[in-house]
Structure 1
Amino acid sequence: MKQTATLKFIRKHSALAPICLIILLFIRPTYLYAEELKLPDIGDSAATALTLTEEKMMGAAVIRNIRHAGKLVDDPLLIEYINNLGNKLVSVSNNKDYRFNFFIIDDMSINAFALPGGYIGIHYGLITASRNESELASVLAHEIAHVTQRHHARAYDLGKSYQVPVLAALIAAIVLGSNGNELGQAALASIAAGSAQMRLDFTRANEKEADRLGIKILNKAGFDAHSMASFFEQMYKESRLYGSQGPEFLRTHPVSQNRMAEAKLRANQMQLKQPPSSEAYYLIKQRIEILNQPDDKALLNHYVLQLKNKTYTVREATLYGYAIALLRNKQLNQARKVIQQLRKQAPSRIAYLITEAQIAAQSQQYAKALYLYKSALDDYPGNTPLTLNYIEALLKQQKYGRAKSILVTHLRQPSPAPKLYKLLALIESKLGNQVATYEALAHYYYHIGQTHQALNQVNLALKTPSLDFYTESRLSARKKELQDELTALAKKPS
């Protein structure tokens, strides 16, 4: 969030200033010191810390609010990459309590943040600003350390009248730079009217611990332990060069010369590792560039010039971007040649395989496209990008039964993408299953933060004639859950 937006928000809702400060620290924990902010001693918050269950509920609720605002990136290949990278780091941490979820915000500013319950967000811009995969991993590692040490859990005393949906809406509003408009209005009104008690317990010790553990995580995961200091140093240089127009990351994650020196000292104590960035890292950077260029012709010209002048970092990643640009410009024969060349070099690369199948489908070679997806899923069962693309290809061929079978199985995985529920609703509708259509849409709307619409779908399902007892009981229970959540958002605490 831009600093000016933050200040406007707090000035507009002056009664909320202390609360806003706490929340900003919660979602921007890195490198903020209680000492520097001259905070009073507020005592031991152990008795009022969020429970693990409350943290997880809070994080999931914030995600739904961010998704409602349309700021979450839903590209399955990007989501898969950032979660693979993040969970590689988590696997060598001391994590025992959280199932981490890494997500990307559609924003080219350079920033990252952690939410309660193991949810870590990173902006498009930070990924593109990183010079190598170790630098990107260093930001994630620091945020992971904050979460695993539960530094955030002591930030709040929820009080009897302060409920998760309200706080989640407010956190999401601040994360997205809202000035109290639609996303956060209900939460703001509720908080301003009440006396929710919140605590702040961020200390220099917390920050040093996150630095120390983050660097240790980097090293154990096989990344360059010096990358944390090098990335912060690069951001620091840019801030000196551009002043107030420098990276947003440093406005929310202040870095000093002393802090960089300490990070370098810790890294020097580790075994030197300077691994090359993975090919997936470079492919993802290309994909971000592709998704942020709506002009198909301009995209193609960009890659033609890069290949002609050899102004690329990794040729294979640039050829991947070139193949997609050709596909978007309907130059299918040339696109096929490029992607098949890449697949000869890396036949198991899922991004290449999906692009080849998409080219086949656009060339009306539907059987080939379906074969490519099915064969790949046999090798990589449960892979979300493959599954999503396969289901969409099956739907275009009106193979609804097969699509439903695959989709229902995939939805059993943790944290399925909301789009999968929308596809399930379409399938159930085509198959004539009215109640199942309403249920799937209710799941979809809920996960994109549209709780009222979710409740409407449940009500429509309950009005369907001849419901069996178990279905009616399930729908009635879900209706109560949604009503309770909406009531919490509308109710003013006493």
Structure 2
Amino acid sequence: MRRFKQAVSLILVIVLLFPATSFAISIPDELKLGKEYLQLIKNKGVILHDPVAQKMIDIVGNAIVKQLSPQPFHFDFFMINDDTFNAFATPAANIFVHRGLIAALDNMDELAGILAHEIGHAVGRHVSQSIDRSKVVAVGSLAGMLAGVLVGAAAGSSEAAQAMTIGSMAAGQSAMLTYTRENETEADQKAVLFLEKTGYSPRGILDSLLKIRQTDYQGIENIPDYFKTHPGTTARVSHLSGILADYKPALNKPAPPENFDYNMVKYRVIGLYSDPDTYIPKIEIALQNDPDNVALHYGLGLLYGRTTRMNEGIEQLNKALAKDPFESMILLELGRLYIRNTEYSRAITILDSMADDPLLGDWAVFNRSVAQIENGNLSAAQKGLEHVLGNGKPGFEKANYHMAEIMSRQSKQALSNYYLGVYYARIHDEQNAVRQLERALDTLDDEKMREKAQNELENLKGKGKKGAHQDNRM
């Protein structure tokens, strides 16, 4: 314990006496770049809006940020819909976690370790340093290049998947925006300090590195993306092992913030978004060895539900529910599978029971509205969808589609065109969005709705002009 405290003290001295000093862009310029980058990513639809996983990431990330001295940037956390093991910081303290990383880790300490490291990069302004080293990269085009690499990877390009984020650009660009080994060491040192104050174990960062390497380190061609974008892995593991060799939690160690059942979140992410053919055999084998594991039943049920094995999916979710009858994650997905299995009344009963859930209530109302449409209760469905849309939370794009369906069934074609146009706009299908909104404006007689449609149309056309301008500039 004494050696650990000495090591932490030395780290603190190094960080305070030798801060990074060379920056090519000002804080306002970095803020502008970060905002532009984030908007490009949002426009491409690669951010995954899962309320449970997002809440867990936010809780862990914000617990670390809370320990920091005043910062020039506001920290925000996002999940990328990509199955690789990766996490990264971008300009202006936006931190991204790939869903594949959630699937690879096993507990909150490991997740906290990865997030603390990325927060360390942001605090050290290492992104700004990397831009300084890349004198030839124009700041005005940097966000577009970074977004293009990220979007290509999330769309399934294996070449782009190897170039995820600032660590590696496309061919010929990889040396321009890379962290140095000194950056990595500094981020690790900061992470140890941050974690010691949060209640999460500093061992989490070392355990996460070892776990990722053991899982997927199969030779030079298969090095995980995280290691490609974070150089000096062997040295990092050795350095952290030395620092943490004698680590013991302090007697007055703070309790971690609100906890999650990490395995439930992990298997939710696997079950809803990962490849069923890859994970179904793995979880089936795991259940043979651990038949009472609620998270495994939950994850397997979700995976089955995405195949032709719908009834088996419902069976697995009911097994999970029998072991944990009040778990809202299970209730929500069971209701959703009942809808897909055309058991609408049963779905409505389950979803009614959790409509006031603080985290998943809006999702329960949304899915209940879908079931009510199928049961012919259009007024109740419309009320529920209006409630969801009024809250303005991300991830509910399809609520507009179902509103269009209700309007069509009620022979309100202009309103149907409006909601369908908004739906297409939210999923970034600009061509169909413009077509539907123009049709709505042809016949809409409600002045308030006409104004909304016009605003949507003007926003779409404005984005189109801006995108064309950026393409010409690049």
Equivalent residue, structure 2, for 1:377: 355
Equivalent residue, structure 1, for 2:189: 212
Query: 1:343 aligned to 2:320?
Result: no
Contact 2:421 2:436 in 1 (8 A): yes
Question: In the TM superposition, what whole-angstrom CA distance separates every residue of 1:120-174 from its partner, at most 9, and x where no partner exists?
Answer: 4434433333243322332233223434555435738996975966764465336
**Given the alignment, which residue of 29, 36, 43 partners 1:57?**
36
Equivalent residue, structure 2, for 1:397: 375
Contact 1:57 1:117 in 2 (8 A): no
Letter in 1 for 2:29: L
Q: Report the Cα distance in structure 2 between the residues aligned to 1:233 and 1:306, rounded to whole angstroms.
A: 22
Equivalent residue, structure 1, for 2:113: 138
Query: 1:223 aligned to 2:212?
Result: no
Change (3 A) 1:136 1:427: farther
What value does the CA root-mean-square deviation take over the aligned residues?
4.6
Letter in 1 for 2:349: Y
Q: Report the Cα distance in structure 1 between the residues aligned to 2:237 and 2:277, rounded to whole angstroms.
A: 41
Equivalent residue, structure 1, for 2:102: 127
Q: Report the Cα distance in structure 1 between the residues aligned to 2:203 and 2:212, rounded to whole angstroms.
A: 15
Letter in 2 for 1:87: I
- Secondary structure of the corresponding residue to residue 491 of structure 1: helix
Contact 2:86 2:100 in 1 (8 A): yes
- Secondary structure of the corresponding residue to residue 377 of structure 1: coil
Q: Which moved more, 1:480-489 or 1:160-169?
A: 160-169
Contact 2:196 2:202 in 1 (8 A): yes
Letter in 2 for 1:133: M
Question: In the TM superposition, what whole-angstrom CA distance separates every residue of 1:325-358 from its partner, at most 9, and x where no partner exists?
Answer: 77634258855752441234xx1x2122124434
Change (3 A) 1:135 1:222: same
Q: Report the Cα distance in structure 1 between the residues aligned to 2:313 and 2:139, rounded to whole angstroms.
A: 61
Equivalent residue, structure 2, for 1:357: 335
Contact 1:105 1:122 in 2 (8 A): no
**Given the alignment, which residue of 67, 80, 86 partners 2:52?**
80
Question: In the TM superposition, what whole-angstrom CA distance separates every residue of 1:303-339 from its partner, at most 9, and x where no partner exists?
Answer: 66544x4257x72222334555776342588557524
1:239-388 aligned at under 5 Å gives the runs 242-264=219-241, 267=244, 271=249, 280-291=261-272, 292=274, 294=276, 299=280, 306-307=286-287, 309-311=288-290, 315-321=293-299, 323-324=301-302, 328-331=309-312, 334-335=315-316, 338-344=319-325, 347=326, 349-358=327-336, 361=339, 366-380=344-358, 383-388=361-366
1:59 shift after superposition: 0.9
Question: In the TM superposition, what whole-angstrom CA distance separates every residue of 1:291-312 from its partner, at most 9, and x where no partner exists?
Answer: 545469x94x7666544x4257
Query: 1:408 aligned to 2:379?
Result: no
- Secondary structure of the corresponding residue to residue 141 of structure 1: helix
Pick 1 or 2: higher relative contact order, CA cutoff 8 A, min separation 6. Answer: 1
Q: Report the Cα distance in structure 2 between the residues aligned to 1:461 and 1:83, rounded to whole angstroms.
A: 37
Change (3 A) 1:165 1:137: same
Q: Report the Cα distance in structure 2 between the residues aligned to 1:329 and 1:465, rounded to whole angstroms.
A: 42
Q: Which moved more, 1:403-412 or 1:471-480?
A: 471-480
Letter in 2 for 1:353: L
Contact 1:435 1:464 in 2 (8 A): yes
Q: Report the Cα distance in structure 2 between the residues aligned to 1:83 and 1:335, rounded to whole angstroms.
A: 25
Q: Report the Cα distance in structure 2 between the residues aligned to 1:171 and 1:332, rounded to whole angstroms.
A: 33
Q: Report the Cα distance in structure 2 between the residues aligned to 1:58 and 1:283, rounded to whole angstroms.
A: 32
Query: 1:478 aligned to 2:459?
Result: yes
Q: Which runs of 5+ in 2 are unaligned?
A: 1-19, 161-175
1:428-447 aligned at under 5 Å gives the runs 428-447=407-426
Equivalent residue, structure 1, for 2:167: none
Output the TM-score relative to the length of structure 2. 0.70
Change (3 A) 1:334 1:66: closer
Output the TM-score relative to the length of structure 1. 0.68
Letter in 1 for 2:188: D
Change (3 A) 1:326 1:123: closer
**Given the alignment, which residue of 427, 437, 442 partners 1:448?**
427
Q: Report the Cα distance in structure 2 between the residues aligned to 1:320 and 1:295, rounded to whole angstroms.
A: 16
Letter in 2 for 1:132: N
Pairs aligned (count)? 423
- Secondary structure of the corresponding residue to residue 79 of structure 2: strand
Q: Report the Cα distance in structure 2 between the residues aligned to 1:201 and 1:334, rounded to whole angstroms.
A: 48
Q: Report the Cα distance in structure 1 between the residues aligned to 2:398 and 2:94, rounded to whole angstroms.
A: 19
Q: Which moved more, 1:374-383 or 1:133-142?
A: 374-383
